[in-house]
Structure 1
């Protein structure tokens, strides 16, 4: 598994967010970074769809947030300003 590729485009490396959790070669912190990137990408797609831009319908945001929850990483962006992209 190429961690640099996973950090740039998680959807190209993993079929679904739950697969990130199963990857034994990743630390908890790396898993969170990958899932946060995937979350940002999913939110970007949702913003584009809100603005009537063509995009992929299935963002998997719910699955991504569930995976982050399983890692105990749900409140790590609570200090960020509110944006549609999650404060990134």
Structure 2
């Protein structure tokens, strides 16, 4: 397949330059639009800190129970 060079239009700009200009402009609009909502994005339910704390406490409790069970099995019972 032979590639052809982009043909200049009436103004002398190549098609790639026109498309790049349009794409850059639309990206700037999208960035501005979503940038307004950026501070609200992390405050979806405002419970991230609570969720992390709960997960850490649950993991600690599970680890404590696992250690207690292991120690309980390792120590022989009196007859």
Q: Same fold (TM over 0.5)?
A: no
Return the structure number with greater helix share: 2
Q: Which has the larger radius of gyration?
A: 2
The answer to which structure, 1 or 2, has the higher relative contact order (CA under 8 A, 6+ apart) is: 1
Q: Under a length normalisation based on structure 1, what TM-score does the superposition of the two structures give?
A: 0.29
